[in-house]
Chain A
Amino acid sequence: MLAMGRRKAGWLLPLLALFCLGWADSWESLRATAATVTSVQAHFVQEKHLPILAKPLVSRGVFYYQAPGSLRWEYREPVQSVMVMHAGRIRRFVNGPSGWTEEQGAGLAAMQVVMEEISQWLAGRFDANPMFQARLEPGRRIILTPKEEAMRRVIQRIELDLADQPGVMQRVTIYENENAFTRMAFDHTVLNARIDEALFRSVP
């Protein structure tokens, strides 16, 4: 019994060390933690802040991620919309008065870049995109700054706040400038649960 207890303690020690050291103290520890994450699902609340808005525009939804690169980003209110990325292909569907329809058009190419970037973050590769300078700050915060001036005119910086729980993102804030930004806060996060692959292919 004691031996079993010692064996358990021996197995737990590296894990406890990971918690004590902090899972977000270095790019290596972030990647090591993310390597243990095969899937993520969470609820999110998105707030759009713009100088012309009397109050932020709030949207709510859920997302599903399956390593290595499948993502479903689903808005449930105020507009029902689903964006899926699977096998390198991105599609967007919107529920309107005539039911669910697939949409193309402005913003979809840009959203493909964003969706791929989110997949990289969920895989722990925060410093993988050569377009951004990544900085890890105390308090589990990562700041991504565009290297190119042209990109900085669209996105000034991105702040990623990681949760206490290893592998979990708490908040993402995308700044267009100091007064115009999009903040997404995540909760009800579930790691490594089985997700039906059909979710990344079929809509709704």
Chain B
Amino acid sequence: MKRLFIILLLVTMLPACGRLPQIRETDPATAQRTAADCATLFPKGAWQFVHAIQFFPPDGSNQTLMGVVRLNSETGQLQIAMMTIEGLVLFMAEHDGVTTTIQRAVAPLDRPGMAQGMVDDIRLIFFAPDPSGAEIGHTPEQERVCRYPLPDGGLEEIRPGAHGAWEIRRYNPFHRLRRSVTPLAGENALTAGIPARVELIAPGLAGYRLVMNLVEATPIEHY
């Protein structure tokens, strides 16, 4: 039984601990095109997005919340509100580009680390990573990839695919996959390049899944 548990644990851990493939450089023109494709996944300027967010926690339940995200890609500023469909606000937070301020957090969204985790997830989906120090090229499987070093020692990868497919991956400093973001198959990009449906997966025992269904995208003048 114990042996079986260890084997299961190893099988579970293997994908998370997998070594990242070496990026192979391409010619400068191709690299430039890949870098541009990686950057186009993210909205430019100031926007307000409203999503119906399906949240699938590890206990097997699910819940739909309305999410409002107001952002400015130039300044890195971000405001988030999460509410029930009936309008009960469960969570509000602001990020000024450096620090996060929680304005409201109702249980269970008031757990330690929850606010920062939520802000990090939203930033991963909506903000382009800092391009300095990025490696641009392709994987041994010929997938185009942009790999960005992060301040915490982790990495962010963007893999722009064909026909509007793409994937964002976030790794911790030990190169374990912490988050992945993909548009759901068969969905076309909408305003500002934001797809109608996008899925975020946080792997692991305490992992969860978010499916964000775009309700409206509004450009805003002042933020």
Residues of A within 8 A of B (CB): 46, 48, 50, 52-55, 57, 59, 73, 75, 78-79, 81, 83, 94, 96-97, 101, 103-107, 110-111, 114, 154, 174, 176, 180, 182
Contacts and interface: CB of A to CB of B under 8 A. Distances in A.
20 contacts: A52-B68, A52-B79, A52-B92, A54-B218, A55-B218, A57-B50, A78-B216, A79-B52, A81-B64, A81-B85, A94-B85, A97-B211, A97-B213, A103-B64, A105-B57, A105-B62, A105-B63, A107-B63, A111-B84, A111-B88
Given A50-B89, A52-B68, A106 B108 contact: yes
B107 interface: yes
Given A54-B48, A78-B215, A48 B87 contact: yes
Contacts of A57: 50, 66, 68, 87
B106 interface: yes
Nearest to A183: B87
A162 to B, nearest CB: 21
Interface residues of B, number: 36
B73 interface: no
Nearest to B54: A96
A12 B198 CA distance: 62
B86 interface: yes
A46 B64 contact: no
Nearest to A48: B87
A180 B88 CA distance: 10
Contacts of A176: 89
Interface in B120-137: none
Contact of A106 (B52, B81, B107, B218): B107
B220 interface: yes
B70 interface: yes
Interface of B: 48, 50, 52, 54-55, 57, 61-66, 68, 70, 79, 81, 83-90, 92, 106-109, 197, 211, 213, 215-216, 218, 220
A63 to B, nearest CB: 11
Contacts, number: 94
Given A53-B81, A103-B63, 17 more contacts: A57-B68, A59-B85, A75-B85, A79-B52, A79-B64, A96-B54, A97-B197, A105-B57, A105-B63, A106-B65, A106-B108, A107-B65, A107-B86, A107-B90, A110-B106, A176-B89, A182-B87
A147 to B, nearest CB: 20
B88 A107 contact: yes
Contacts of A48: 66, 83, 87
Contacts of B220: 54
A60 to B, nearest CB: 12
Nearest to A114: B86
Contacts of A105: 55, 57, 61-63
Given A79-B52, A96-B54, A101-B62, A106 B89 contact: no
Contacts of B50: 57, 78
Contact of A111 (B48, B55, B86, B89): B86
B86 A106 contact: no
A112 B57 CA distance: 22
Contacts of A174: 87
B187 to A, nearest CB: 10
Contact of A110 (B61, B68, B88): B88
B84 A103 contact: no
A11 to B, nearest CB: 42
A106 B90 contact: yes
A55 B84 CA distance: 18
Contacts of B218: 54-55
For B48, B52, B63, B215, the residue with the greatest tally of chain A CB atoms inside 10 Å of its CB is B63
A95 to B, nearest CB: 9
